[in-house]
Amino acid sequence: MKKLLLTTIFTIISCFSFSQNWKEVQNTNGLLIESTNTEFHDETNDIHQENLIIKLTNTSLLPRSFTYSIEVTYGDNSMNYYEDGFIELTLGVGESVTVEPILVRFLPNRDGKVFSQSKLTNFNIIIQ
């Protein structure tokens, strides 16, 4: 059930149109990790934020299974992005997935106010 839910989340997120300004974070052992920043605007609820999108691509000549985790840091507070720790994933040859957006910071709303001053200061991707 958890794998189905994650696959659904990955598929939904992959359908969104994100900026194509991908920056290589790491390329090791047939796994390319890239990131880009994008803005999210919910005009109905007046929520505006900048998000980090991470894309994982299998660049090897074989399907690849691995587990990964993302650690995020806001100021002095570090935490695992996923409540359950590591996520299992299998990618076919040349297959890519985008990970659910990670909040970088809140942007000003219609009144020029910012919901929170917290800002993503660091992220680590741990591959097993």
pLDDT digits (tens, 9 = 90+) for 46-83: 999 999 999 999 999 999 999 999 999 998 899 999 88
CATH class of 2-127: mainly beta
DSSP per-residue letters across 49-112: EEEEEEEEEE-SSS-EEEEEEEEEEETTEEEESSTTS-EEEEE-TT-EEEPPPEEEEEPP-TTS
pLDDT digits (tens, 9 = 90+) for 5-53: 444 344 334 434 445 799 999 999 999 999 999 999 999 999 999 999 9
Domain locations along the chain = 2-127
Confidence at residue 71, expressed as pLDDT on a 0 to 100 scale: 94
Confidence at residue 42, expressed as pLDDT on a 0 to 100 scale: 95
The pTM for the full model equals 0.77
